């Protein structure tokens, strides 16, 4: 059935598919923008979660950016849409520099990320050959989570900066508090945020004291962006999953369940009543295999099950998943009653990890909070 304007409803479209609650998304974006405005720093949203031009336009502060990407495919797609101020926030390898220079030749101010002298030398050499000084940010390891230079390692920082400026250009430093995704509670999140800030500011100070300009001091994670009490010395915040949020973020305490803007629409296709199972047509191909809440206090399985309007049933979760089958059960230990969901019933399943679930789909079906009319379809892309 369609509404009077001709838009289809959630009862009509094929399942499984990805649903985006535009009201929740807009509220999430507004919340972080207001917070960063109070702290006096700019937002450079990470578009790796959205991977959609339509969604990105509602998140960026201007049509040209600034923005962050994690793949060159993202950089190329957003550049075609007019986004010209980009940071490629994954360590650069020599084989990718040709594509970076091609984008820069088209007028895209694309900066790269690195944390070794070898990368800096490759960027400098390519810059000399092309006659284009590629700007780069040195990644700082603020919490041992992944990659980067330790913030007090002056020798390495200066060595990278010196090698880079033999043809390239040092734009600044950046870091990502990945360990914050494992923090629980406000105090732990505030500590992660301050560690992130202090680490990157310390690295910038060392570089400036050594005679290098360091105009950009960039931090970025959704948990720390929402719990930083001070961002003194920081110029910008990169965050991505805040646009949609997910069950992992809710489990950490960064958002509420009813802030989660992304869900997967599924249809009931069977029952195993003696086992307490309801079968749906959304398996791990629709939800992803991400089980990020398994390490949290509340394990949400593969997702939290809601009615077609997006209201959670309570303790009903997608407890197991095959490729195209999802098994819906009550959460272990629950004393709730299994709802009566006849064959053909539509449900929405909130994801553990918005990035991973989004990557399984080629478009967002956009609705308003509590509504079932699809007012728009926003294409999304994947690949590298």
Say whether pLDDT at 204 is over 90. yes
Angstrom distance (rounded) from CA 123 to CA 320: 46
pLDDT of residue 103: 98
Say whether pLDDT at 231 is over 90. yes
Say whether pLDDT at 61 is over 70. yes
Cβ atoms of residues 89 and 46 within 8 Å: yes
Give, as one character, the DSSP assignment of residue 244: T
pLDDT of residue 5: 65
> What is the per-residue pLDDT across 326-381, written as a single tens digit (0 to 9) for each?
999 999 999 999 999 999 999 999 999 999 999 999 999 999 999 999 999 999 99
The CATH number that domain 46-239 falls under is 3.20.20.10
Q: What is the Cβ-side half-sphere exposure of residue 190, based on CA atoms within 13 angstroms? A: 5
Q: Nearest 5°: phi and psi at 20?
A: -120, 120
pLDDT of residue 144: 87
**Which own/partner pairs from 117-122 qualify as long-range (CB within 8 Å, at least 24 positions apart)?**
117/156, 117/159, 117/160, 117/163, 119/91, 119/92, 119/93, 119/94, 119/160, 120/160, 120/161, 120/163, 120/164, 120/168, 121/163, 121/166, 122/92, 122/94, 122/97
> What is the per-residue pLDDT across 296-309, written as a single tens digit (0 to 9) for each?
999 999 999 999 99
Say whether pLDDT at 85 is over 80. yes
pLDDT of residue 3: 57
pLDDT above 90: percentage of residues in the chain: 95
Strand ranges for the chain from DSSP E: 17-21, 42-43, 67-69, 85-91, 109-114, 135-140, 169-175, 216-219, 236-237, 262-272, 277-280, 304-306, 312-321, 326-330, 346-350, 363-367, 376-379
pLDDT of residue 37: 97
* pLDDT tier, 4 (very low <50, low <70, confident <90, very high otherwise): low
pLDDT of residue 314: 87
pLDDT above 70: percentage of residues in the chain: 99
CB atoms within 10 A of CB 217: 23
**Where are the chain's structural domains?**
46-239, 257-379
Domain 257-379 fold is Lyase, Ornithine Decarboxylase; Chain A, domain 1 (2.40.37)
Say whether pLDDT at 2 is over 70. no
pLDDT of residue 286: 98
**Largest interatomic CA distance in the chain:** 72
> What is the per-residue pLDDT across 232-284, written as a single tens digit (0 to 9) for each?
999 999 999 999 999 999 999 999 999 999 999 999 999 999 999 999 999 99
pLDDT of residue 306: 98
The dihedral sign for the CA sequence 220, 226, 232, 235: positive
Say whether pLDDT at 96 is over 80. yes
Cβ atoms of residues 319 and 311 within 8 Å: no
Say whether pLDDT at 146 is over 90. no
Tokens read off for 142 = 């603020």
pLDDT of residue 6: 78
pTM value > 0.85: yes
Residues 103-121: what's their mean pLDDT? 98
Angstrom distance (rounded) from CA 119 to CA 288: 33
């Amino acid at each position: 059935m369609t509404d009077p304007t001709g838009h289809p409803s959630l009862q009509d479209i094929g399942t499984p598919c990805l649903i985006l609650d535009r009201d929740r998304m807009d509220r999430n974006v507004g919340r972080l923008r207001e917070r960063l405005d109070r702290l006096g720093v700019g937002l450079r949203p990470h578009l790796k979660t959205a991977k959609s031009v339509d969604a990105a336009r509602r998140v960026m502060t201007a049509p040209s950016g600034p923005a962050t990407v994690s793949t060159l495919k993202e950089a190329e797609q957003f550049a075609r849409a007019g986004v010209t101020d980009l940071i490629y926030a994954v360590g650069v390898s020599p084989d990718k520099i040709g594509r970076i220079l091609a984008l820069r030749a088209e007028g895209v101010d694309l900066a790269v990320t690195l944390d070794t002298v070898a990368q800096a030398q490759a960027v400098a050499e390519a810059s000399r050959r092309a006659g284009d000084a590629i700007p780069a940010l040195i990644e700082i390891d603020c919490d041992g989570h992944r990659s980067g230079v330790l913030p007090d390692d002056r020798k390495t920082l200066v060595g990278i900066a010196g090698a880079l400026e033999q043809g390239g250009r040092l734009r600044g430093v950046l870091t990502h508090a990945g360990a914050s995704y494992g923090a629980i509670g406000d105090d732990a999140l505030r500590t992660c945020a301050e560690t992130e800030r202090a680490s990157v500011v310390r690295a910038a100070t060392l570089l400036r004291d050594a005679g290098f300009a360091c105009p950009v001091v960039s931090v970025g994670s959704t948990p720390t962006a929402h719990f930083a009490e001070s961002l003194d010395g920081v110029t910008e915040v990169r965050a991505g999953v805040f646009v949609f949020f997910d069950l992992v973020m809710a489990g950490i305490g960064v958002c509420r369940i009813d802030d989660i803007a992304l869900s997967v629409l599924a249809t009931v296709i069977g029952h195993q009543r003696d086992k307490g199972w309801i079968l749906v047509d959304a398996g791990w191909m629709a939800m992803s295999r991400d089980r990020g809440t398994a390490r949290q206090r509340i394990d949400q399985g593969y997702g939290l099950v809601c009615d077609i309007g997006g209201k959670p049933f309570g303790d009903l979760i997608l407890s197991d998943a095959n490729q195209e089958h999802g098994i819906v059960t009550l959460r272990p230990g629950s004393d709730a009653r299994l709802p009566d969901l006849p064959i053909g019933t539509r449900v929405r399943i909130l994801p553990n990890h918005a990035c991973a679930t989004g990557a399984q789909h080629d478009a967002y079906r956009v609705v308003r909070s509590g509504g079932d009319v699809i007012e728009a379809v926003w294409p999304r892309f994947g690949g590298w």
